[in-house]
Amino acid sequence: MFAYYFQLGLRSLRRNPLLTALMVMAIGFGVAASMITYSVFRATSNNPIPQKSDQLYAVQIANWKAEDLDQGEPPPALTYTDAMAFMQAHKAKRQTALYPIAPSVIPADASRLPIEENSYAWYGDAFAMFDIPFLYGGPWTQAQDDARAAVVVIGKKLNDKLFNGKDSVGKTINLDGHDYRITGVIGEWDPQPLFFDPVNTGGFGDPIGLFIPFTRAIDLQMTTAGNNNCNETPGTGWDNWLHSECIWIEYWAELPTQADADAYKRWLTGYAAEQQRAGRFKWAPNVRLRNVTEWLDFQKVVPPESKISLLVSLGFLLICLVNTIGLLLAKFMRRSPEIGVRRALGASRREIYAQFLIEAGTVGLTGGVLGLLLTGLGVLGVGWVFDEQIARLATLDVSLIALTIVAAVLATLLAAFYPTWRAAQVQPAWQLKSN
Amino acid sequence: MDMQVGPILSALRRHKAGAVLIALQIALTLAILCNALFIVHQRLSHLSEPTGLDEANIFVIQNEWVGKASYAQLDAEARADLEVLRRLPGVADVTTSNSYPLRGAGWDDGIRLHPDQLTDTTGATVYFADEHFVRTLGLKLVAGRDFRAGDIGVMAAQDRLDPSQVIVTRALADTLFHGDTAVGRTLYLAGSPATIVGVVDRLQAQSVARWAADFAHRVVIVPRRLTSTLGTYYIVRTHPGQLAAAMRAAPAALVARNPRRMFDPRMGVLSFAQVRERAYESDRGMATLMGVISAVLLAITAAGIVGVTSFRVGQRRRQIGVRRALGATRHDIVRYFLVENLLVSGSGILLGVLLALAMNLWLILRFGMQGLSPAYLAAGVAVLLLLGQAAALAPALRASRVPPVEATRAG
């Protein structure tokens, strides 16, 4: 029966080509607009580390007076003083302070130009915390952190460039005139959003390809390549800045259970209270622990453009559906005589429902195919509307293809319910009489 | 004129579904259209805002040093670079700064009028400058004087920002002194007092993002060359027509002087036109997207009205025939369907105005957008009324061609 109704549906679509084209286009455009904007929204609201997002916490503490805070929220970064106190207390399973740096990789071959890599200074724990896969070797040790060792972990891209992709563990590279020994080469690691530092990256950017110990970077007086915020002038020189209330360090703690998180928060509050007693803070403890999803939400990583355009597109789809209801109603009611005949010949209401819903489904499917084409074009053109770093994340994958087709068919079926109900209400006697 | 509203209403009551659907579609279209076009307007309104620079003849170089040098060495290197650039053919003037308008990031700080104020009077963008800054950028000095070579100091990123003299923009001066003379007055920048020696007409902030909107043109120029291991910006103004040639020659000349440097492949050397393009990329994109959606939306709504009205005409061929036979003119029939459409569209528009305002309110609360201007609402209403009438016209004309003989057909 399904095949027969499907054929009937196709034949009926050909009977009113203009009306059919209108419906197919409405569904196609509506679904495509929604899917294109959804592909961007999906990419920007992505959970970059789902297996651990509720175990990793960004740590915040109010080291500034209330007037300098944004709506009472502690600043989004830490001072060197607090970050070091947290590292020394070692209260989490793993922890790291981190900040972006901008060293140049100087190739051994003096004729080649220096290479710039997106780089971070952090602790050896970070690699295990963030589940970073290694191609060769591994992270540096805690002893090397403590010894402020000249060691480095590099990304695959840099390893390909400098060592033709061979195992380079134990070899040295030169950063800004200093030699560093490679302890590991990481494989593909491109979490988007860059959850560990949306503050300095805006959430999206090229993969990070070079890491050195935080302690080493401080020893070499490497300034942050990211934001530095001061609520008062720190005074002159590196040491004054390092021990000032300027904030520029992100801090992450791995706390596997809720109990661990609660205990850490209590400790953090205690630390702030201690600072208050010591006279450094002249206000009550104001601290935050935010897991990955809470942190990305707080940092407003999803651009408002993405949300607004998704919203407008869904509104657009809704209008297309209302439009489709009207056109289907026109199409179905035009066939009242035919329905009357079928009913008089013994077709049940249920069969009328089946026939017309399948016909609508055929429209939906055709609209879905058109929508898919338009979505494909649109995803290619996302770079027109969004930042290139975000646009590269919006892709037409299998799940989006399936969603486009399913959304088109379901939406059309939804739109078809009322017209179908009206069709099933057609009185056979009345139609037979009037014709 | 007899508008025949009574019979139209009773006919509409008998065929509610089609009318309700058209009204609903018009309501939703109006809501989305007004807000989408308002977004377009907001995004585009900043696009042509002047920076105050001689944009056509300016390009910028982002210079990053390789290796670590002392701050004194970095400053000497930067000055040598400026000399190399100044000698290039076609170059009018060169300056160095920590940032420039529309770059997207830089230094901003609080400005106060008294040292014991608890909160800032306003935020302001801080541009570091040498004695060539005002001339290179092509800024218009409207009061006081430019910096002299002797005013310029050197500071490292971690040093205290305490210039004794500053130049401010007219926008900042007006915010602080409400139209009174600014030259000679004192302001407190990051807690240190500075005397205003000059006022420039216009200079835009480094960011066009919403967080910087409050101080978009409030700028303080400090007589300091900022040295940073992260690098610096060289801003070059060329003689008219020489921009492209100078842009090609500059990086090569710098590398020839000292090769231990890098230019970012994407951001290294940019003409100011490119800077502007990058700064407003997402605004232009969003405006394009909303524009396309609005256009398709109008097309689909119009097509929907044509479809449903045609159906209603088809349904009532006999009725139309009877009316024609009873003496109604073609004109009457056309008017009937147009008035019907006006009634349906009108009720849709009433609902649509409410929906548009509700949606705008939501955008205000959620995304801090501005209130929808009544002009946009009025324009949206007018567009949809016209669209409805235009879309109903073709089916109405077809209805008017129904011959009176149709009244005698079967049934």
B3-21 pLDDT per residue, tens: 567 777 777 777 788 889 8
DSSP string, A88-131: HHT-SSEEEEEEEE--EEE-SSTTSPPEE--EEEE-THHHHHTT
Q: What is the mean pLDDT of residues A24-42?
A: 93
Please report residues of B whose CB lies closer than 8 A to that of A176.
Answer: 66-68
Helix (H) or strand (E) holding B17: helix B16-45
- Residue B313 tokens read as 């005409």
- Backbone phi, psi, residue A370, to 5°: -60, -45
Do residue B282 and residue A385 have CB atoms under 8 angstroms apart? yes
Residues of B in contact with A422 (CB under 8 A): 17
Considering only the beta carbons, identify the residue of A22, A26, A67 that sits closest to B119: A67
Contact call for B304 and A434, based on CB within 8 A? no
Interface of A with B in 297-316 (CB under 8 A): 303-305, 307-309, 312-313, 315-316
Cβ <8 Å between A315 and B363: no
* Residue A36: pLDDT over 70: yes
**Among all residues of chain A, which has the CA nearest to that of B24?**
A322
> Which of A256-270, A385-399, B53-67 tops mean pLDDT?
A256-270
| Cβ contacts of A329 on chain B, cutoff 8 Å | 17-18, 21, 308, 311
Q: How far apart are CA A419 and CA A411, in angstroms?
A: 14
Q: What residues of chain A, 324 to 383, have a C-beta less than 8 Å from chain B?
A: 325-327, 329-330, 333-334
Per-residue pLDDT at B269: 94
What would the pLDDT profile of A130-140 be if each residue is shown by its tens digit? 999 999 999 99
Residue A222 DSSP class: P
| pTM summary value | 0.83
Using a CB-CB cut-off of 8 Å, the residues of chain A touching B222 are none
Quick one: CA torsion of B257, B262, B266, B269, rounded to 10 degrees?
Answer: -20
User: Pick the residue with more confidence: B117 or A61?
Assistant: A61
Tell me the shortest Cα–Cα distance from A320 to chain B, in angstroms.
7
Residues present in chain A in total: 435
Burial class from Cβ neighbours inside 10 Å (0-12, 13-18, 19+) for residue B271 reads buried
pLDDT at res. B159 = 79
Tens-place pLDDT, residues A12-28:
777 778 888 889 999 99
Question: How confident is the model over A277-301, as a mean pLDDT?
Answer: 94
Q: What are phi and psi of B64, to 5 degrees?
A: -115, 130
- Kindly state the helix (H) or strand (E) to which residue B2 belongs, with its residue range: none
CB-nearest partner of A326 from B22, B296, B367: B22
pLDDT of residue A84: 97
With 90 as the cut, is the pLDDT of residue B311 above it?
no
Q: Residue length, chain B?
A: 411
Q: List the single residue in B with minimal CA-CA distance to A329.
A: B18
Res. B177: pLDDT tops 90: yes
Alpha-helix runs per DSSP H in B126-210: 133-137, 170-177
Please name the residue of chain A whose CA is at the shortest distance from the CA of residue B30: A319
Contact between B170 and B18 under an 8 Å Cβ cutoff? The reply is no
Contact predicate A121/A99, CB 8 Å: yes
User: pLDDT value at position B4?
Assistant: 65
* Confidence band for B2, pLDDT divided at 50, 70 and 90: low
Q: What mean pLDDT do residues B102-109 have?
A: 88
Question: Confidence band (pLDDT; 50, 70, 90) for B202?
Answer: very high
The alpha-carbon gap from B58 to the nearest alpha carbon of chain A, in Å, equals 25
User: Is residue A435 scored above 70 in pLDDT?
Assistant: no
Of residues B68 and B36, more confidently modeled:
B36
Confidence (pLDDT) at A369: 96
Split at pLDDT 50, 70, 90, the class of B319 is confident
Q: What phi and psi, each to the nearest 5 degrees, are found at residue B211? A: -65, -25
pLDDT for residue A232: 81
Q: A399 vs B409, which has greater pLDDT?
A: A399
Residue found under tokens 């959850």? A195
**B109 pLDDT more than 70:** yes
A218 touches chain B (CB under 8 A): no
Question: Closest to B39 (Cβ–Cβ): which among A225, A308, A325?
Answer: A308
Question: Contact B312/B44 with Cβ under 8 angstroms?
Answer: no
Each residue's pLDDT tens digit, B209-223? 777 777 889 999 999
Query: With a CB-CB cutoff of 8 Å, which residues 388-417 of chain A face chain B?
Result: none
Residues in chain A with CB shorter than 8 Å from the CB of B288 are 384-385
Q: A291 forms bridges with which residues in the sheet?
A: A57
Query: Are the C-beta atoms of A231 and A69 separated by less than 8 Å?
Result: no
Residues A11, A19: Cα–Cα separation, whole Å: 13
Strands A178-186 and A151-155: parallel
Q: Which residue of B has its CA nearest to A419?
A: B17
User: How many Cβ atoms sit within 10 Å of the Cβ of residue A291?
Assistant: 18
A116 → closest Cβ in B158, B262, B281: B262
Poorest-pLDDT segment among A7-16, A102-111, B25-34:
A7-16
A26 contacts in chain B (CB < 8 Å): 300, 303-304
DSSP β-bridge partners for residue A175: A105, A178
d(CA B256, CA B250): 10
Which residue of chain A comes nearest to B362, CA vs CA? A308
Contacts A–B by Cβ distance under 8 A: 153
- Top mean pLDDT of A326-335, A422-431, B192-201 is at B192-201
Q: Is A320 on the interface with B (CB under 8 A)?
A: yes
Q: What is the DSSP letter of A149?
A: -
Q: What is the pLDDT of residue A433?
A: 62
DSSP code at position B150: G
Phi (first) and psi of residue B5, to 5 degrees: -65, -35
CA distance A240 to chain B (A): 8
**Per-residue pLDDT, B411:** 46
Q: Compute the distance between CA of residue B123 and CA of residue A281 in angstroms, rounded to an integer.
A: 25
A64 Cα to chain B: minimum distance (Å): 13
Domain ranges for chain A, please list them.
2-45+303-434, 56-298
- What's the confidence (pLDDT) of residue A9? 76
How large is the average pLDDT for residues A37-42?
92
- Domain ranges for chain B: 5-47+282-408, 55-279
Taking residues B363-392, what's their average pLDDT?
89
B362/B355 Cα distance (integer angstroms)? 11
Q: Is the pLDDT of residue A156 over 70?
A: yes
Q: Which residue has the higher pLDDT, B212 or B397?
A: B397
What are the residues whose beta carbons fall under 8 Å from the beta carbon of A206, sequence distance 6 or more? Answer: A118, A389
Judge residue A290's burial from the number of C-beta atoms within 10 Å of its C-beta, 0-12 exposed, 13-18 middle, 19 or more buried: middle
- Is residue B264 very low, low, confident or very high in pLDDT (cuts 50, 70, 90)? confident
**Contact across the interface for A232 and B118, Cβ inside 8 Å:** no
The residues facing A253 across adjacent strands are A57, A95
Backbone φ and ψ for A200, nearest 5 degrees, come out as: -100, -15
Instruction: Say if residues B200 and B147 touch (Cβ distance below 8 Å).
Output: no
Whose tokens are 């070692």? That residue is: A90
User: Nearest CB to A327: which of B289, B304, B315?
Assistant: B304
- Cα B126 from Cα B223, distance rounded (Å): 11
Q: What is the mean pLDDT of residues A374-403?
A: 89
CA distance A45 to A394: 11
pLDDT of residue A434: 54
Q: Taking a C-beta distance cutoff of 8 angstroms, is the pair A178, A210 a contact?
A: no
Which of A216, A239, A385, A430 is the best mutation test for B, with the most CBs of B within 10 A?
A385
Q: What is the pLDDT of residue B48?
A: 81
The answer to whether A52 contacts chain B (CB < 8 Å) is no
The verdict on whether omega for the bond into residue A428 sits within 30 degrees of 0, i.e. cis, is no
Above 50 in pLDDT, residue B45? yes
Mean predicted lDDT score pLDDT of chain A: 91
Q: Using the beta-carbon criterion (under 8 Å), do A385 and B190 form an inter-chain contact?
A: no
Overall average pLDDT of the B140-169 stretch: 91
Interchain proximity B281–A387, CB inside 8 Å: yes
Identity of the amino acid at A342: R
pLDDT computed for residue B218 by the predictor: 94
Return d(Cα B269, Cα A25) in angstroms, integer: 45
So what's the pLDDT on residue B1?
45
What was the pLDDT predicted at A158? 94
The chain-wide mean pLDDT, for chain B, equals 89
- Mean pLDDT calculated for residue range A24-44: 93
Give how far B148 is from chain A: nearest CA, Å. Answer: 25
Q: How far is A267 from chain B (nearest CA, A)?
A: 32
> Which of A265 and B264 is assigned the larger pLDDT?
A265
Which residues, in sequence order, are CB contacts of B142 under 8 Å at separation 6+? B170, B199, B200, B201
CA distance B36 to B352: 14
Compute φ and ψ for A217, nearest 5 degrees: -60, -40
Q: What do you get for the CA distance between the two ends of chain A, in Å?
A: 28
Q: Residue A268: its pLDDT value, please?
A: 97
**Between residues 92 and 131 of chain A, which touch chain B (CB distance below 8 Å)?**
102, 104, 106, 113-114, 116
List the beta bridge partners of residue B193: B188
CB burial of residue B358 (10 Å; 0-12, 13-18, 19+): exposed
| Nearest by Cα to A27 from A401, A403, A312, A316 | A316
Q: How far apart are CA B314 and CA B330, in angstroms?
A: 16
Say if residues A137 and A230 touch (Cβ distance below 8 Å).
no
> Which residues 30-49 of A are in CB contact (within 8 Å) with B?
30, 33
From B120's Cα to the closest Cα of chain A, the distance in A is 10
Query: Do the chains contact at B288 and A385, CB–CB below 8 Å?
Result: yes
The yes-or-no verdict on residue A341 having pLDDT over 60 is yes
Chain A neighbors of B366, CB-CB under 8 A: 307
Number of Cβ atoms within 10 Å of the Cβ of A114: 20
Is the model's pLDDT at A180 over the cut of 90? yes
> What is the per-residue pLDDT for B161?
86
